[in-house]
Chains A and B, each alone.
Chain A
Amino acid sequence: MATAAVELDTRVHYLNANYGIKSWLLTTDHKRIAILYMASITFFFLIGGLAATLIRIHLIEPNGAVFEPGTYNKLFSMHGIVMVFFFLIPSIPAVLGNFLVPMMIGARDLAFPKLNLLSWYVFMAGGILVLYSVIWGGVDTGWTFYTPLSTSYVNSNVLSAAFGVFIAGFSSILTGLNFVVTIHKMRAPGMTWFRMPLFLWAMYATSIIQILGTPVVAITLVLVAVERMFHVGIFDPAVGGDPILFQHLFWFYSHPAVYIMILPSMGVVSELITCFAKKRIFGYSFVAFSSVAIAVISFLVWGHHMFVSGQSIYAGIIFSALSFLVAIPSAIKVFNWTATLYKGSISYQAPMLYAMGFIGLFTMGGLTGLFLATLATDTHLHDTYFVVGHFHYIMVGGAVMGYLGGIHFWWPKITGRLYPDGWARLAAAIVFIGFNLTFFPQYMLGYLGMPRRYAIYSPEFQVLNVMSSAGASILAVGYAIPLVYLIWSMRYGPEAGPNPWGAKGLEWETPSPPPTENFEEIPVVSEEAYAYGAKEAHVG
């Protein structure tokens, strides 16, 4: 180990190839840009998490423990806008995707490295504008910016927040564009489509959604801004507009956006399950095509957000049926991951714990989604805490678990160092327990009829709300621990070596941290993905 640590410091790799703040801010290396994104979204996660903490503290008392109702509205809007647009959407694509897409296909970089750097700057510009909006003055429309509330009634910073989201959208578009071109045109010799790791299929499907969905929400926000600035009636019924049109346009993006958040996590889980079960994935092509199927179907289901908004009942029936279709590819993934575990030699290191957590929580979130896709039950559950519980099971239980699992899995590759596995397992367990304690009561609250977005509630809901707030404090501890030991490991962690997990994939065949151009020589691929057990020629 001692000699290895020296090796890490003497060998030239992407982290020590050059120094200084300028070498980071002007880098076009996809790995460094990934780290810029990682730092940025961790910051946004802390901001959004702070808002969530304040919300949960406030809701301990039925009459609201701390804030004015107006302040409460601004807090949950801040939480939603920051977490959705500045943490969840960029999380896995911009951090792990940026780092891994070129490495997994055996390329030196993304197809457009300068565009990649530009997209980080665009992201930060949007993020800073949104931070300004939510902190100085605030926004109180919720992250959905529903009209005519957002255009005619509220006096908060809707314009600047919407503009910030608009700008950040282009970052998402450019990242998606870069990935699609890279995956199409830059695969190493022998890396056929069906030899690609499933993470890449997931990133590809995600990119398609980013490319086709984001422009629609961009133009929608432009129309909102026009209506708000010039007081004309595009969406405001008082002047001839149609608020339902806004909801159609908004959800045309924002439902698929849910899959921007969850598909990358599914890709991560496919990598983790195979590595820690040391088995081929069960039904490779089914898992691959289920990602594409989810991306396609995601564009056809947006009306399930509008069952009670005055959309035609026939449209409602069709959207309901189409929404059920999403369950099929999602279930294919869950069953195939589970089947992969069968007779595998499973080890429960920290990334695997997150992957297992993902499968359980995503299944819960997915199944409760069926309740909401059913017209009759949705009439009861719409705009209650049941919905809040459902999408947090998908976005936090799913997307964030996948992100943390991925960070723990590729951390040794990114930094060249190992973190303490015991602490990591403990944190994973705390996150799982804290998460369930926070959000399971919300299903019950919603089922009992507590509406979302209210600053006060009836006293009979207090027990469940206190449970939820208690769970949130446990969850916060679970998120704080990795922050500490991961930062610690960057300096003091033991040398990881190129492949600490004995994993398959091109990214593990190059040193950790990788050299600037990723590979000493462009690799030639001669075997399928996840060829575990076939011939364990070289491990570690």
Chain B
Amino acid sequence: MARRRPTLADPHASSALAHQFEDLGQQHESASLGMWIFLATEVMFFGGLFAGYTIYRNMYTAGFVAGSHELNVTIGAINTAVLICSSLTMALAVRAAQLGKRIPLVTLLIATILLGLAFVIIKLTLEWRHDYLEGLVPGLNFTFAGPNARSMELFFCFYFVMTGVHALHMVVGVGVLFWLVVQAWKGRFGPERFNFVEGAGLYWHFVDIIWIFLFPLLYLIGGRY
């Protein structure tokens, strides 16, 4: 192990280094480990939903398949493409931060924000609103009648909770990215200081991956094709 700096003797070599750390390497490792652990908690959070969905899908297969057929695969696919593009711009933004390129960083972050907002707006206007008008929203307006109406209602409960919680994560992510844009504009990031951008990137990719699981689970499986 490298010889560590004594505590109070010499001042911090770099303003990017928080007082509790010995060096930038330790600080960077801690930040990314912390972020990965946070993502593990998110996996468990969504895991509860996925488990519940899987169990009910097994119990009420017909209703869940019928519910799945009511969803618009084309719009789901477009949104998937939008999210994958946003992951690309996010990954490039992290690279720009590491290299300390200010203008590309700001541009890429804004592009990521726009793609994220596009996803949420498409979801809201073209899917949820449509579902509401069709009478497919349990608790607010569920008018579907048919042999599997009960279990279809359960499907839509999970559909709205899962996509809703996911969309909430997108909105939080957009908020974080806004803050990063402001910081990036002020030139706060560079080769010594990119942990925040990297952490936000990990979060953003994670939220995308959740969608990559949600899309087939909700839209595709069920013998439609």
Interface residues of A (CB under 8 A from B): 102, 107-113, 115, 173, 177-178, 180-182, 184-186, 189, 211-216, 218-220, 222-223, 226, 229-234, 239-242, 245, 249, 252, 517, 519-522
Contacts and interface: CB of A to CB of B under 8 A. Distances in A.
Contacts of B4: 189, 522
20 contacts: A108-B19, A109-B20, A110-B20, A111-B20, A111-B21, A112-B34, A115-B34, A177-B38, A185-B33, A215-B42, A223-B48, A230-B138, A234-B157, A245-B55, A517-B8, A517-B19, A519-B7, A520-B8, A521-B6, A521-B8
Contact of A242 (B20, B37, B38, B59): B59
B44 A232 contact: no
Given A108-B7, A232-B154, 5 more contacts: A177-B34, A178-B34, A215-B48, A219-B48, A220-B48
Interface in B1-21: 1, 4, 6-9, 18-21
A177 B165 contact: no
Contacts of B21: 111, 186
Contacts of B128: none
B150 interface: yes
Nearest to A113: B20
A416 to B, nearest CB: 20
B221 interface: no
A215 B41 contact: yes
The residue in B8, B42, B55, B150 that gathers the most chain A C-beta atoms within 10 A of its C-beta is B8
A181 B34 contact: yes
A114 to B, nearest CB: 9
Contacts of A222: 161, 165
A158 to B, nearest CB: 17
A185 B24 CA distance: 12
The residue in A211, A222, A232 that gathers the most chain B C-beta atoms within 10 A of its C-beta is A232
B29 A185 contact: yes
A181 B21 CA distance: 12
B151 A232 contact: no
Interface of B: 1, 4, 6-9, 18-22, 26, 29-30, 33-34, 37-38, 40-42, 44-49, 51-52, 55-56, 59-60, 138-140, 150-151, 153-154, 157-158, 161, 165
Contacts of A215: 41-42, 44-45, 47-48
B153 A233 contact: yes
B7 A240 contact: no
A232 B55 contact: no
The residue in B9, B19, B165 that gathers the most chain A C-beta atoms within 10 A of its C-beta is B19
B45 A240 contact: no
A340 B30 CA distance: 36
The residue in A111, A112, A184, A186 that gathers the most chain B C-beta atoms within 10 A of its C-beta is A111
Given A216-B45, A239-B150, A230 B40 contact: no
Nearest to B59: A242
A265 B175 CA distance: 40
Given A212-B44, A240-B151, A519-B7, A219 B49 contact: yes
B41 A223 contact: no
A222 B165 CA distance: 10
Contact of A216 (B1, B47, B139): B47
A177 B41 contact: yes
B161 A226 contact: yes
Contacts of A519: 7
A213 B141 CA distance: 34
B1 A189 contact: yes
Contacts of A108: 7, 19-20
B154 A184 contact: no
B154 A522 contact: no
A232 B157 contact: yes
Given A177-B34, A213-B44, A249-B48, A241 B154 contact: yes
Contact of A223 (B26, B42, B161): B161
Contacts of B29: 185
Contact of B20 (A186, A211, A231, A520): A186
A212 B6 contact: no
A108 B8 CA distance: 11
A110 B34 CA distance: 12
B207 to A, nearest CB: 15
B19 A109 contact: yes
Nearest to B52: A245
A262 B96 CA distance: 47
B41 A214 contact: yes
